[in-house]
Amino acid sequence: MRIFKTNPILTIVNSYLVDSPQPSTLSYLWNFGSLLGLSLVAQIVTGILLAMHYQDSALDAFQSVEHIMRDVNDGWVLRYSHANMASFFFIAVYLHISRGLYYGSYRSPRIGAWVIGTIIFFLMMATRWPKWMLINNIKLLYLYFNENLPFNKARTKAISRIGPHNIDVLSVLICGIKTFLKNPIDNCPGIFKTEILNFNVFNPEQKKKRLKSFEKKRMSLPNNLQEILIGLFLGDICAQKRSKKGNTNLHFEQGLVHKEYIFHLFDLFKDFCRSGPKITERTPDKRTGKVYTRVCFTSYSLPCFNEFYYIFYPKGKKIVPLNIEELLTPLGLVYWISDDGTYCKKHKYIRIATNSYSLQEVNLLLSVLRNKFNLICYPIQDRTGYVITIAAKSVISLQPILKPLMPFMMLHKIGL
């Protein structure tokens, strides 16, 4: 048609699709371009379906992958198709480029197509390598706490896999040799730096600098953290002083099953801590001989914690202060239950472990729950001491009060 050869825009389309000269040796090697298009469509479709079930937080990412693999109908097919199609995509890209180099597709009259393809190739690498850093960072943190989930572990080293895994080479290309060697993240272009830092997972081994004495004196606790600490002191938190004139540090500890909760606490108190949560093992249990794993972190020794130490450790041993009714607020009660509470699904009551307190202290806590929070509660004696039980009727009235304040991973402790 004449219009294809006279119109400036259609002339370009005609030269590439209609009247484009093709070699007599045309073979299946020219199919890789169309295969790339098909694999891209497959990646988009499987990616959208997987995104419907995926949670993009550091704490829930791999649990959602587990859900896809185990619970979603044919979820394992979608996941493996998406993963292997990514590898096939890069195989096709490299073969497509190799074919072009071998047959001289970079020469006239194909210079424009070659330049556009090269730009697309470098943009593809530049936009994908921060995602691989994100995946590797989250995966390392998750495997640090979950060593018994083999299907999440990589079977092949990064240097042997297909795709932009060689971060050093890509970073040199994008950021420059000299600047990258000094600091590979801070010296990258802003778009990549922002993406990496926004998705970066806290490194448990990363430590802050030591605080000087005048810096420690300037630090103070906001009101919400003071209320939270009251509940934590009634629960599992431990305060320590190296000397009578020294400052107090706080030790936070939870079992491995509550790692999400300990990370939540660290997020609240990270400004008062030098290093993040670490995984350690307790000494073998005297009764069962089992070794239990825990996650813990410790705060700086700060003057702002001394007040709490004098209230709860007047003689070096934890007690329930006589003015606990004035100190305990709904926010404090939330974290007390989060630390020491359990919910009975059968009888729908909440039981708070107060085994380490005396009967007099337990009665003091009961009077606070009854008078200040209007709860029906009573003590129960077991082998190691007394525990507090909140009746099912009171749990129903307590749930709407505590739900907005309760950390989401601990809602099960109030029956939600």
Query: pLDDT (tens digit, 9 = 90+) per residue, 253-282?
Result: 888 788 888 888 888 888 888 888 888 777
Cα distance between residue 163 and residue 90, in whole Å:
6
Tens-place pLDDT, residues 134-180: 555 554 444 444 444 443 334 344 343 344 434 444 444 444 444 43
> Pick the residue with more confidence: 21 or 335?
335
Q: Is the pLDDT of residue 206 over 60?
A: no
pLDDT at residue 10, as a whole number = 82
Give the mean pLDDT of the chain. 76
Most confident of 51-60, 276-285, 375-384: 375-384
* Band (407; pLDDT cuts 50, 70, 90): confident
pLDDT at residue 208, as a whole number = 61
Domains of the chain: 3-199 (1.20.810), 203-319 (3.10.28.10), 322-416 (3.10.28.10)
pLDDT at residue 130, as a whole number = 57
pLDDT at residue 187, as a whole number = 43
Q: Is the pLDDT of residue 289 over 80?
A: no
Cα distance between residue 291 and residue 199, in whole Å:
34
> Pick the residue with more confidence: 67 or 2?
67
Q: Which of 13-17, 101-105, 324-328 has the lowest mean pLDDT?
A: 13-17
pLDDT at residue 144, as a whole number = 45
End-to-end CA gap in the chain? 70
pLDDT above 70 covers a percentage of the chain that reads 78
Cα distance between residue 57 and residue 199, in whole Å:
9
> Pick the residue with more confidence: 337 or 195?
337
pLDDT at residue 133, as a whole number = 54
Q: Which of 7-11, 180-184, 214-218, 393-397 has the lowest mean pLDDT?
A: 180-184
pLDDT above 90 covers a percentage of the chain that reads 0
Q: Is the pLDDT of residue 186 over 50?
A: no
pLDDT at residue 327, as a whole number = 87
* Residue 252 buriedness (CB in 10 A; 0-12 / 13-18 / 19+): buried
pLDDT at residue 58, as a whole number = 66
> Pick the residue with more confidence: 127 or 258?
258
Q: Is the pLDDT of residue 185 over 50?
A: no
Q: Is the pLDDT of residue 202 over 60?
A: no
Q: Is the pLDDT of residue 129 over 70?
A: no
HEC string of the chain?
CCHHHHCHHHHHHHHHHHCCCCCCCCCHHHHHHHHHHHHHHHHHHHHHHHHCCCCCCCCCHHHHHHHHHHCCCCHHHHHHHHHHHHHHHHHHHHHHHHHHHHCCCCCCCCHHHHHHHHHHHHHHHHHHHHHHHHHHHHHHHHHHHCCCCHHHCCCCCHHHCCCCCCHHHHHHHHHCHHHHHHCCCCCCCHHHHHHHHHHCCCCCCCECCCCCHHHHHHCCCCHHHHHHHHHHHHCCCEEEECCCCCCEEEEEEEEHHHHHHHHHHHHHHHHHECECCEEEECCCCCCCCCCCEEEEEEECCEHHHHHHHHHHCCCCCCCCCCCHHHHCCHHHHHHHHHHHEEECCCCCCEEEECCCCCHHHHHHHHHHHHHHHCCCEEEEECCCCEEEEECHHHHHHHHHHHCCCCCHHHHHHHCC
